[in-house]
Structure 1
Amino acid sequence: MTTDSCTTVNIRAIPEADIDQALDLSYLVFHVKASEKARQHDRDILLGSARTGAYDGDRLAGQIAAYPLTLSVPGNRLPCAALDFVSVAATHRRRGLLTSMFDEVWRGCADAGQVLSCLWASESAIYGRYGYAPAGETCQIEIDSSRPLALRIAPDSRPLRLIDPADAPALAGPLFDAHLAHRAGRVVRDEAWWRTHVLHLEGDDDDDDDDEGFGPPRVVVLGAPGEPVGGYAVYRTRGPGESPGAVLVRELEADGAPAAAALWSYLASIDLTATVRGPFRPADDPLLLLAADRDQVRATRREPGLWIRLVDVRAALTARSWAAPVDLVLDLGDTAVPANAGRFRLTAGPDGSSWTPTDEAADLTLDVRELAACYPGGTRLAHLVYAGLVTEHTPGAARALDAALATEWLPATGEY
């Protein structure tokens, strides 16, 4: 237990007996009116999390929950603390509570061997000062499906079939797992994660999609029974009424462009609908290239996706894969986790990497936040130099590090 700068507030673990108090604080801060079903879903998440609270007497004034999961990074999968329920009561703002709670979170990550931390930011202005940065961008794709979808390639000819959503983890899961190596920023799933975060078969029945009149989740797969699934889509539909009929695509995975073409063509052909919307698609979704008419297929919004933080910089850098050799000295700043800060030589390449302290002159000076932005391959260091956020002391150093960090596909996280 620690005491923050306001001597009446103690930072300590939240016991199971205070779970309901933690939920009440979260709902107060985020202005949520939760059903009992949604409350039970949130209670289960908290029970499975490491919980840090700021107590004013015996009352919670702030909290952070850290849920353990595994995240894909280039060439690997790493243990990660996914933060949720981050909240401080309005009566206790600007008193250092969040900083004090984060100090406990970093200690907990070290004890649990969690190299990374991640979160979905509700207020992005907050988390940069704690070393978090967007791991990549997502885009919203909209298809005008009032006419047949025009594509530049022929769709895969394998049959499409609807399956029971409860069977999706077993049938579609192997394809998703195989694609984990393709994109950084994805959560390694078990069946429970599929049911609650992808299919939404359990938990929050106050989903925003329900407010728009969408029905239950549907799952379509590409491939005949008994054959490996070549692609799948998780989606919901809304018939015409006060609003036009629409298809909402929660997730779509395919083993190649023809398979993706078959799935998108199917979704765009569903009767009594005029729009297909994919709210959280990768920024490099192949559909944007496959479309024969970009007036029919549009990226209507781009925004930061999952935010990540390098809790243990050395472990994170030496665990990922590298696309090209690089040998540079980085002067890294990290006010929240001092063990990460200092001057280090990064020697890396396809055969491995090392991160060792050095007194040599720095090639680049940057903060851990900027390193986190570049780490999964979605942000170019040269752009951060141009923006004045990274200092390049040796000409070409940023370009060399970009080449080493490069990935074939941009990082993306579909869960929301």
Structure 2
Amino acid sequence: MRTGATVRAATAEDFDALHDVVDIAFHRGSPERRRLRMRALQDEGLGLVAVDGDRIVGTTGAWSWDLGVPGGTLPVAAITIVTVLPTHRRRGILRALMERATADARDRGEPLAALWASEGGIYGRFGYGPATWVREGRAQLRGGLGLRPPTTGPEADLPLRLLTAEEAHPVVAPVFERARARRGGLLSRDGTWWTVRLLADEPEDRGGASPLRVVVAGDDGYALYRVREGATTGPVSAWTTVEVAELVAVTPAAERALLAFLSSIDLADELVLDARPVDDPLLHTTADVRAIVPGTPADALWLRILDVPAAVAGRSWAADVDLVLEVLHPEDPVVAGRWRLRGTSGAPGAVVAARTDGPADLVLHARDLGSLYLGGATATGLRDAGAINEATAGTAVALDAALRVERAPWTAGVF
């Protein structure tokens, strides 16, 4: 780096100075209670700092989690708190931090890296591409939200339970783990992440809304929600919104039961379903097809392939494949080059990738490989956008058939 700044592992003594930099970068403040919670979450051995003299000027961190991929899970470096002080921009600090984070992830044997991108124009050059998308669903509740009757027979009579945030963890965590098998893109969660982050219910977590409520449908689904009262609408009432932070279910019956409950809460005017999958089945459950208004899709998890053979062998494939990809990434010779993908449809291990000198059938940047990997983007769409070059006609269609997934990938929860 031109400034002479160095990148090193963070230590316990760096904690407050590190988070001072994070607060500046993300325009926020961290009260003592918040920092105590971050200490509980943060593995000091996985944080990095860039130091100029005796001052920390850049940061990054990573959690070693696993990511749901079609047919299974793979280790992933969950990259977070990527910052550079505004006084030190354009000096190579971000690149140095990302290079070190990548090298550390490879040393740990993680074939994937993932992050949430605060700015869309930054991370593509490092090989990250948007791989999951989410959108909001919003419904007006006065008059009810009628659901279509299921075609498979009578509505399942799933018992519903209301839990407090303190009670919820041992009940909802197993449901989430079972649900991860239904869609790619969901990340593992340990007990600390549940209790300190997702189920946190201190006054500063509420943002003026109610305490966190948890409703559970049988053993197959749950929703985390708060209720917010807005402008006064009458002598004894106010506009009331049910804000659903997370709705996760293993079965369609549980999803329907949770929606029926959330849309029938007394004295509520509006339902907001945050960060739902782009192919959300709940949009099709209402008798009025316009009852739940979908929002604009937004990119969620960005994915980078760090080990092509491990990533290819680590997911299931929906069709036979035999083609050569040329991956472009001038800063990453481990991934860049030509790879022959060959194998049959089936569980992980059915398709393998090996380097080849043969001619490329499809030429794409590493960021687009990340976007394709979970099945959320299509090779034909990227080809038509001019982002990838189809050297052999029909290759994009063949690759899409092999990468096809039953449900769109989805990531719940920012890290």
TM bin, normalised by shorter chain, reads: over 0.9
- What residue is the counterpart of 2:292 in the other structure? 297
- What residue is the counterpart of 2:358 in the other structure? 360
Range moving further from structure 2, 242-251 or 379-388: 242-251
- What residue is the counterpart of 1:5 in the other structure? 2
| Aligned: 1:53 with 2:43 | no
How many angstroms does 1:403 deviate by? 0.6
2:222 to 198, 208, 232: 232
Separation in 1, partners of 2:190, 2:254: 25
Separation in 1, partners of 2:172, 2:43: 28
Separation in 1, partners of 2:197, 2:406: 26
Q: What's the CA shift string for 1:5-29, capped at 9, x where partnerless? A: 33x2112222221111101111111
How many angstroms does 1:333 deviate by? 1.2
Tell me which amino acid in the other structure corresponds to 1:262.
A
2:330 to 322, 335, 349: 335
**Preserved contact between residue 279 and residue 407 of structure 2 (Cα < 8 Å):** yes
- What residue is the counterpart of 1:226 in the other structure? none
How many angstroms does 1:182 deviate by? 1.2
SS at match of 1:163: strand
- What residue is the counterpart of 2:214 in the other structure? 219
**Preserved contact between residue 112 and residue 311 of structure 2 (Cα < 8 Å):** yes
Counting matched residue pairs gives 402
Separation in 2, partners of 1:45, 1:172: 19
SS at match of 1:371: helix
How many angstroms does 1:200 deviate by? 2.5
SS at match of 1:263: helix
SS at match of 1:411: coil
Q: 1:282–1:15: structure 2 CA closer, same or farther, 3 Å change rule?
A: same
- What residue is the counterpart of 2:69 in the other structure? 73
SS at match of 1:214: coil
Tell me which amino acid in the other structure corresponds to 1:15.
T
Tell me which amino acid in the other structure corresponds to 2:323.
L
- What residue is the counterpart of 1:398 in the other structure? 396
Separation in 2, partners of 1:321, 1:346: 13
Separation in 1, partners of 2:31, 2:297: 31
SS at match of 1:172: helix
Equivalent residues in 2 for 1:231-250 (5 A)? 231-239=221-229, 241-242=231-232, 244-250=239-245
Q: What's the CA shift string for 1:39-98, capped at 9, x where partnerless? A: 222233344451222111111111111122111111121111111111101111001111
| Aligned: 1:131 with 2:127 | yes
Separation in 2, partners of 1:379, 1:280: 18
**Preserved contact between residue 112 and residue 304 of structure 2 (Cα < 8 Å):** yes
Separation in 1, partners of 2:84, 2:276: 32
- What residue is the counterpart of 2:407 in the other structure? 409
SS at match of 1:338: coil
Equivalent residues in 2 for 1:11-410 (5 A)? 11-48=7-44, 50-154=46-150, 155-201=155-201, 206-207=204-205, 210-211=206-207, 213-223=208-218, 229-239=219-229, 241-242=231-232, 244-351=239-346, 352-410=350-408
Separation in 2, partners of 1:252, 1:123: 27
How many angstroms does 1:254 deviate by? 2.7
How many angstroms does 1:141 deviate by? 0.5
Separation in 1, partners of 2:365, 2:339: 13
Q: What's the CA shift string for 1:214-244, capped at 9, x where partnerless? A: 1111111123xxxxx1322111112454561
How many angstroms does 1:265 deviate by? 1.2
Q: What's the CA shift string for 1:253-298, capped at 9, x where partnerless? A: 2343332222111111111211111111111111111122133211
SS at match of 1:301: coil
Instruction: For structure 1, list consecutive stretches of 5 or more residues without a partner in the other structure.
Output: 224-228
Separation in 2, partners of 1:74, 1:246: 35
How many angstroms does 1:317 deviate by? 1.2
**Preserved contact between residue 151 and residue 290 of structure 1 (Cα < 8 Å):** yes
SS at match of 2:144: coil
Separation in 2, partners of 1:77, 1:197: 23
Provide TM-score, normalisation by structure 1. 0.92
SS at match of 2:91: coil
Tell me which amino acid in the other structure corresponds to 2:2.
S
Range moving further from structure 2, 88-97 or 169-178: 169-178
Separation in 2, partners of 1:300, 1:358: 44
Separation in 1, partners of 2:345, 2:196: 37
Tell me which amino acid in the other structure corresponds to 1:60.
I
Separation in 1, partners of 2:6, 2:193: 33
Separation in 2, partners of 1:382, 1:182: 24
Tell me which amino acid in the other structure corresponds to 1:238.
R
SS at match of 1:277: strand
Separation in 1, partners of 2:92, 2:117: 19
Provide TM-score, normalisation by structure 2. 0.92
**Preserved contact between residue 134 and residue 300 of structure 2 (Cα < 8 Å):** yes
Tell me which amino acid in the other structure corresponds to 2:336.
A
Tell me which amino acid in the other structure corresponds to 1:163.
L
